Amino acid sequence: MTEQVRQLTKALYGSKSEKSKYQAPDGQGYLFDDDLSFNESEQTEEQSTPTVTHIVERKLHKKKRNDSFHEGIEIEEIHHPPTNTQCDCCLGQMTESGTTIAREEAKFIPAKMMRIQHIEHAYECKHCNAYNWVFRSVPSQGPIIVLFQSALSRSRSVLEEFSEGFKGTMICDGYSAYGNLPDVTFANCWAHVRRYWLKADSKNGQIGVDYCDQLYHLERQFKHLSPGKRRKSRQKHSKPIVEKFLKWVDESPFFGKNALAKAADYTLNRINGLKAFLFDGRIEIDNNPAENAIRPNVIGRKNWLFSVSEAGAKANAVCLSLAETAKANGIDFYQYLVTLMTELPNLLIHQQPEILNNYMPWSKKIQATCGN
């Protein structure tokens, strides 16, 4: 029995190498490598017992977060509704729109453990909703400015108010609020067109994607040209591709409610807007830069679930405008905030607002101290 215990112990904790400890150089053994078998008296044949070897496999288990919260544990919920459910905008009563688990903690009771979830309730006003509109200038017209505008609706009146006094071209998607504004030309986004044909996921759909890709290949070649030269290059090289693509779409029998028909309808309903970039070298072929600017707002929407007041939405728009404008001008936003918060409070910006020109993301001072 003693021999079996020793063998099992050696199998579990002993050396796994098959090299003998006595095969040392020059025939010398290692001084401190004792073998317990040499400390025991030699057994007679009658005393000897067969050697039994057991191989034990140990499985490593990855430790998971909150292992103590197993599936069958009892849960106690503690709800935290907001103290005020009145809409700050219209003073109407808001209705609950959802909940989220804010935190979890373990509660130990003798011979019993409970899982306690703290659930926060979100309320929204059915009459008022905050939307973020984003506007981004084009590189050919000076420093890039990204401006978020908070509004209670997506109606046309928001765009009319914002663009009052503006004369020029706006690049946009196919939203129905755009179009027919005084002194404004609307250019449609080719990235949206390409997306529709890509969703068709068919041979004809790929043909539509290939036409769009040809235009984008040319745009990469024209990227660093002046607006005038870019317009001429587009007229010479891009225009024939656009005309051929639109002719193919118009003459193809894409009917019904399938993805191909939707792609064809989307394209043919925006012919003038899709051709606009051919006649103005200042504008881009799509509004992807503006969509990239609004992406953090979309990703963070769940985190900002409790910013339900109009004032909070406007404050959020100001912060996003600062962050995205700094990013577009190659500025480290954190360092930019540190500079603003430490220097502006000591300056007479209300008496001398022109001082702020030195703190714009594109200024020489900020580019030198906060540039990436």
**What is the per-residue pLDDT across 255-279, written as a single tens digit (0 to 9) for each?**
888 999 999 999 999 999 999 999 9
Q: Which tens digit of pLDDT belongs to each residue from 298-335?
A: 666 655 545 557 788 888 889 889 999 999 999 999 99
Are 131 and 151 in contact by the 8 Å Cβ rule? The answer is yes
- Average pLDDT (144-167) is 87
Give the least confident one: 209-213, 275-279, 294-298. Answer: 294-298
pLDDT tens per residue, range 49-74: 455 555 555 555 554 445 556 777 78
CA 323 to centroid of chain Cα atoms: 15
Instruction: List the beta strands (DSSP E) in 161-288.
Output: 168-172, 184-188
Q: In residues, how long is the chain?
A: 372
- At residue 44, the 3 state secondary structure works out as coil
Q: What is the DSSP letter of 256?
A: S
Q: 193: exposed, middle or buried (C-beta count within 10 Å: 0-12, 13-18, 19+)?
A: buried
In the chain, domain spans: 1-58, 74-124, 132-294, 329-372
Which residue from 325, 352, 227 is spatially nearest to 277, judged by alpha carbons?
227
